[in-house]
Homo-oligomer: A and B are copies of this chain.
C-alpha cells in the first residue's frame, strides 16, 4: 500500500524516523520511544462498508486512521442509527482504559488503520507526557466538534444541515476556498445514506435537499458524489452559522 503525503492533515508533525506520518505516532518520536513503538505497531486495511468493531466488542487495539474514511455510530434496537464521529486520516480510534467499545466503527471508504495493542499503549500513555498532552488536545478538539454537531442535530433545518455538512467536509479536506476565486470542489466520500446518518435525516430528505441546493445554484454536482461550489460564502450563509463563525481559536 502506498501512502502519499497529501492525505495527511497539516497538523501532522514531521518525523524522519517514522515511515507513516500521523499525529499520534509522531508525538512519541520526540521522546525517542521509536523502538518500542515500532515493535507494537501494525497496519490493517478494511474494505469499504466493512465493520471494524461492534459496540460491546472487546477492544484489543487502539490506533489511528492513516488512509480513508471511517465512521463511529450508535444503533438503537429498532435500527435507528446515528453517526457520532467521522474519522479521517490522523483521527484516533478507541479509548485508552476502556476494554469494550461503546460504539460501532465501520469503514466508509477503504480504510487503513495503524494499530497498537491497547495495554502496552496505555503504559506508554503513562510514561510519555507528550503523548498524554497530544491525546488531551485531540479529545478537546473532538469535543468542540461534537458540540457543533449537537447544534446541527438539535436546531438546524434539513437544508442547513446539508450546507453545514458540505462545509465541514470541505474544511476537513483542507480545500480552503482560494481567496481570489472563492471556488472549491471536493469529493463526498459518503453515500446519501451515510449523510443521513450523520445529519439525523432520512436519505430521501438528503437527496431532495442536495438537489434543492443544486437547483438554487448554490452547488453543482458531478457524478453524484463530487461537489463544486462556485461561491463558498454563499454556501456558508446557507449553514445558518454566524458570518465569522467556527473560528474556535
Contact = CB atoms under 8 A, between A and B. Distances in A.
Interface of A: 72, 74, 76-78, 80-82, 84-85, 95, 97-100, 102-103, 129, 132-133, 135-137, 139-140, 142-144, 146-151, 153-155, 199-200, 240-242, 248-249
Given A76-B240, A140-B139, A150 B102 contact: no
Given A76-B155, A77-B240, A150-B153, 18 more contacts: A74-B147, A76-B151, A76-B241, A80-B155, A82-B151, A82-B154, A84-B151, A95-B144, A100-B249, A102-B248, A129-B132, A132-B132, A136-B136, A139-B139, A143-B143, A153-B154, A154-B200, A155-B200
A243 B14 CA distance: 47
Contact of A149 (B76, B85, B150): B150
A82 to B, nearest CB: 4
Contacts of A78: 240
- Per CB-CB distance, the 10 closest pairs between chain A and chain B, nearest first, are A154-B200, A153-B153, A146-B146, A139-B139, A84-B147, A82-B154, A80-B155, A82-B151, A153-B154, A136-B136
A22 B136 CA distance: 20
A249 B56 CA distance: 10
Contacts of A81: 155
B147 A249 contact: no
Contact of A95 (B72, B80, B140): B140
A151 B102 contact: no
Residue from A82, A154, A155, A242 with most neighbouring chain B CB atoms (10 Å): A154
Contacts of A140: 95, 139
B240 A85 contact: no
A198 to B, nearest CB: 9
Contact of A129 (B72, B103, B129): B129
A195 to B, nearest CB: 12
A97 B139 CA distance: 13
A72 B148 CA distance: 12
30 contacts: A74-B147, A74-B148, A74-B150, A76-B155, A76-B242, A77-B240, A78-B240, A80-B155, A80-B240, A81-B155, A82-B154, A84-B151, A85-B147, A95-B140, A99-B249, A100-B249, A102-B144, A102-B147, A132-B132, A135-B136, A139-B140, A139-B143, A143-B143, A146-B146, A146-B147, A150-B150, A150-B153, A153-B153, A153-B200, A154-B199
